[in-house]
Amino acid sequence: MRNDTMGIILTGDEQIAPLTDIRANSALPIAGRYRIIDFVLSNMANAGIVNIGVATESNYSSLMDHIKSGKPWDLDRKNQGLNILPPNLEHKSYGVIKGNIDLLSGIRDYIHKSHQTYVILSLGNIVCNIDYEAVINSHIESQADITAVYKNLTGVEESDLTRYTLMEMDENGRVTDVEIQPYYPKTNKASMEMYVMEKALLESIVDECSARGDTDFVKDAIIKKMGGMRIFGYEFDGIFFKIDSMKSYYAASMSFLDSECRKELFNRERPIYTKTKDQSPAKYGADAVCTNSFISDGCVIEGTVENSILSRGVKVAKGAVVKNSIIMQDSVIDEGVEVNHVVFDKEVVITKGRKLIGQESYPLAISKGTII
């Protein structure tokens, strides 16, 4: 148990229409039976952190239903445990949250009342399996004010680097420059939007930024204070996905079909936990064909499924073909249907004989409950 460190997860406001029309991006299903936030929560729980706050912004009912008391992560405790923190808009003009400083300001009392010395601050749209224990120890040993976790994105195209906050460092690992989504990247060291610092420092940053009307943690706390604080980088060398668009969500999801990716992300030493449901095993018909796919509990497969991820309760009728697709819970693919490079939200029904074709770089997304 890590009694000296608390965790704060910011669910963010990146829109991945139509999937985030009804849920926060952190609550998006991934790898069949998981949600994106499961990875961040599990990373913190595996490090022994028992006081975790999830600061929500909008469309958070699905997220609250998924994590509830925090039992899968052993966070259902009388004291501390998992805390779901809806937005506090009372002190915001027009009730609008303009940035993550506003989110942190809204949970200022929760932060102040927590007795831990250190805090891990992370966005909730990050998929990785990281040893937070090692990050905290590195932060303490380096005597840094803030430790920023980063990934060296070697070989990534310049156009894709512009999605990230990029950091330059000296030979000692101290951050010397930070650029937010630069048009011409000067480095490939991408921030993973995970920061370790003393809780008292976070409180001071939030209070000062709020008093000045500043709203962004990176712009107004990291960049403006870089000269006066010891900000060090911690390199993470594992698999890392930042999910902030339909393209990145589709690419991250399909990566789970690769055995090496699964082996790392579902590390037995640091398991990824999720909400469990008691459902019958998947059922396969006599003519069913399934290759390189995730098929979750409760599915009924009578057709063909290739290179796809099916959540719980999906039905694929005889003669239907599903390829390179993500099909969420309780959707129905009727007889003779062909779908390729599509992303279906929950309870989508595709009737007989329809054909829906997207592209790998632009998957076709269908909103919840749609009947075609």
pLDDT digits (tens, 9 = 90+) for 58-70: 788 888 899 988 9
User: Cβ(8)–Cβ(49) under 8 Å?
Assistant: no
Q: Report the distance separating Cα 12 and Cα 25, nearest Å.
A: 7
Which residue from 312, 140, 119, 144 is spatially nearest to 203, judged by alpha carbons? 119
Q: Report the distance separating Cα 251 and Cα 249, nearest Å.
A: 6
Instruction: Read off the pLDDT band of 94 (50, 70, 90).
Output: very low
* CATH no. for 5-265: 3.90.550.10
Helix/strand/coil for 298: coil
pTM score of the predicted model: 0.93
Query: How far apart are the two ends of the chain, measured CA to CA in Å?
Result: 51
Residue 113: count of CB within 10 angstroms of its CB: 7
> Tens of pLDDT along 187-226?
999 999 999 999 999 999 999 998 888 888 998 888 988 8
- Adjacent-strand bridge partners of 250: none
**Is CATH 2.160.10.10 correct for 283-366?**
yes
Give CA 217 to chain center in angstroms: 18
> Tens of pLDDT along 296-315?
999 999 999 999 999 999 99
- Adjacent-strand bridge partners of 243: none
Helix/strand/coil for 40: helix
Residues of the chain with CATH 2.160.10.10: 283-366
User: Cβ(130)–Cβ(42) under 8 Å?
Assistant: no
